[in-house]
Amino acid sequence: MTRYTTATDADREAMLAAVGVGSIRDLLAEQIPAALLRDEPLDLPEGLSEQEAYVHLRDLASANVSAEDEVTFLGAGMYDHYVPALVDMLLGRSEFLTPYTPYQPEVSQGGLQVMFEYQTAISELTALPVSNASVYEGPSAVGAAAYLAKLHNGRERIVVSAGLHPHTLQTLRTLAVGYGSEIVEVPLRDGATDPDAWAAAIDERTSAVIVQQPNFLGAVEDVAPLAAAAKERAGDKVVVVGAYDPIPLGIIAPPGDVGVDVAVGEGQTLGNRLDFGGPSFGFFAARDAFIRRMPGRIAGETRDVDGRRGWVLTLQTREQHIRREKATSNICTSQALNALAGVAYLGWLGRDGLPELAELLVQRTQYALRTLTAIDGVELLHDRPVVREFALRLPGVDVPALVEYVQDRGTNPGLPLVRTHPDEHADGLLVAITEQRTKEQIDRLAELVAEGLQAQRTTTGGDDADRKAGA
């Protein structure tokens, strides 16, 4: 530790004596359960010099393949959308790139206005009256919405659709342990949330219900009856949470119009590049009743003593600003730069551009869906309406091997569902379409998939013939 801090051995001994313990280990033992402490040292290699570390990290980085290096149909929550040059230009300006939390509004008007305009855009997109100035990313936004629900009604049962992204569901389960909630998962039927199982799982103990739109398998959910069933079964106190992909909101009903109380989601598709998985931002919008329990912060418009228009941080439910027991989040790092990319992107698209983009995705997705299912041995996993992502079944196929075959030829065909749903969809493939994917690229994908399937059949047939000959 002394390599990184100015504390000497004598300093540490004095501090330990002041708190009444003999060593750092004794201090930790009083704070951390013994079952969580390791007795043996970490199995780590010896340290590297700076030059050696550079070579090691360079070699690791060279193993990555980005969306610039291959034609990618991989989605599952993060998508290869085009980011216009104006987004990079705005994000690179020093007044946006370097500021931190705007504690002094008199010198932070630009950043505060960005937050305000971002909130306005998200409210319009979701048809909900209030939005915060963003959170970390989509999965933690869902967790924050579930916590908001518990604060609102004091209940502990959270009913979720199995159509949630697996990472979101994992995050929710982890966070729910901390605030003592029970997660009840409702299965899918024909690709979408089973409405009968949904209704049966909800009762007067239910704090929140959560559905994803479109869901992880790409299916467009019928959210309105799901929301209505929640209110009917659990009363008006239940909080209906929708985890939304923002791009399809150009053509599907916004959450505020279908009974959703809190709309959250991953904002990466709004002007944020893939960038090896991050950073991105999460959006969070809600009805007025939840404004004082929303996580993070909300920028508001005001007038100064001279009547001039200005912006301030109106509500801040962070532990830095209010008593810790009343805080609804501990988000400390500013996500405003990523949110700026989101509002710049939405401004670039405009009111007409977003529906046009979503319609383009529907058209290209339908073409890809028809082209791929025309291949012998490829079928739809479900026949629900889709916007830009769809799930295929390839019965009897080693899907990861097929993906590797196609990737070796410069195209990533999508996500093998055996990684996320090994028991249910081991033969599944999730394919995503963005405006970056052309007809020619879709045709090439179909060609490679057909070749890969034929290669597997040939290999399997050869093995069978060898076995029969040996017998």
Structural domains of the chain in order of their starting residue, each with its CATH number? 9-62 (no CATH), 85-347 (3.40.640.10), 350-470 (3.90.1150.10)
d(Cα 39, Cα 157) in Å, to the nearest integer?
37
pLDDT reported for residue 313 = 86
pLDDT reported for residue 460 = 73
pLDDT reported for residue 1 = 43
Q: Are 146 and 155 in contact (CB under 8 A)?
A: no
Q: What is the pLDDT along the chain (471 residues), one digit of tens a residue?
A: 446 677 888 999 999 999 999 998 888 888 888 888 877 888 899 999 999 999 999 999 998 888 989 999 999 999 999 999 999 999 898 888 877 777 777 778 888 899 999 999 999 999 999 999 888 899 999 999 999 999 999 999 999 999 999 999 999 999 999 889 999 999 999 999 999 999 999 999 999 999 999 999 999 999 999 999 999 999 999 999 999 999 999 999 999 999 999 999 999 999 999 887 778 899 999 999 999 888 888 899 999 889 999 998 888 766 556 666 677 666 655 578 899 999 999 999 999 999 999 999 999 999 999 999 999 999 999 999 999 999 999 999 999 999 999 999 999 999 999 999 999 999 999 999 999 999 999 999 999 999 999 999 998 765 544 444 444
pLDDT reported for residue 470 = 45
d(Cα 110, Cα 95) in Å, to the nearest integer?
8
- For residue 168, report the phi and psi dihedrals to the nearest 5 degrees: -65, -45
